[in-house]
Amino acid sequence: MAKRKSNRVYFWFSVLMLSFIGGLLIYFLADQWSAGNRRPGHIDDAENTFSSYPGFGIWIPDDYEVHGIDVSKYQKRVNWKLVRQMKDRGLQLQFAFMKATEGTDIIDPQFARNWKKAKEAGMVVGAYHFFRQSSGGHEQALFFIRQVNLQVGDLPPVLDVETFRGDGVEQFLDEVETWLKVVENRYGQKPIIYTNAGFYNQYLAGRFDNYPLWVAHYQNKNSPRVNRSWHFWQHNEGGRVNGIRSLVDFNVFNGTLKDFNALLIPKKLTAN
């Protein structure tokens, strides 16, 4: 009886091992066939597809027409002519957001030069203000307005709001709303809100849904994880571009080139 039982155990063990090995073989052959039918430098995701751009040093989501970057003093002195001329696999950068101001007393030291040289190189430009919790929204808005002269064809003004500490969140949001209203009144267009997905979901969702949204979200490969429509997606912070010595943020616009052009400031602004 013991020998018969041992033979039976050996038989079923052999069946299981052969099944396991057969399954691995089928999986390997299927994967090899699939790899042979995929484009090199290309991956598929649940919703989006991505392609590798060696010149830029990153993977970039497909199916977007309009691509751009954002810069500040940390990119130092940018050669905007080289930025605009660079192409990789047919992709060319078309717009650049740049930091202009912070709080009520900080002007980005590279802003004036970035604004002038990027325009001369043919980039569509936009200026952003970094919101500081320690200052009032009205005062910060006026400071931004004094430094930024938006013209026809520029992107709408941008409020970068991504930090909050302590208590008084409602007062903080009131000040953010004040900034948005003052700036909208000056330029005649709703400002774009820039933030990261986590901050938006925790503090801003539901209150500012009628403003264009620019979201930073690097971990999620489908799209920014916010439960609303968005205009810009900062999908990577480690890109490389000719004319910029440091790493730079990459962005896509959620729409066609026609949609992008419709977002730009349409008429000459007059001083209030």
Active site residue 162: yes
Distances (CA, A) of 261 to 47, 61, 216, 264: 26, 21, 22, 5
Question: Taking a C-beta distance cutoff of 8 angstroms, is the pair 215, 198 a contact?
Answer: no
Q: Of 116, 70, 21, nearest to 215 (Cα)? A: 70
**DSSP code of residue 204:** I
Question: Taking a C-beta distance cutoff of 8 angstroms, is the pair 60, 89 a contact?
Answer: no
Among candidate residues 88, 108, 154, 162, the one labeled active-site is 162
Other C-beta atoms within 10 Å of 3: how many? 7
Structure tokens at 40: 């090199």
Structure tokens at 162: 């991504």
Q: Of 112, 258, 111, 131, nearest to 192 (Cα)? A: 131
Question: Taking a C-beta distance cutoff of 8 angstroms, is the pair 198, 179 a contact?
Answer: no
Question: Taking a C-beta distance cutoff of 8 angstroms, is the pair 156, 211 a contact?
Answer: no
- Rounded distance, CA 96 to CA 243, Å? 13
Among candidate residues 70, 154, 160, 249, the one labeled active-site is 70
Backbone torsions φ then ψ of 82, nearest 5 degrees: -70, -35
Active site residue 237: no
| Residue positions annotated with a catalytic role | 70, 162
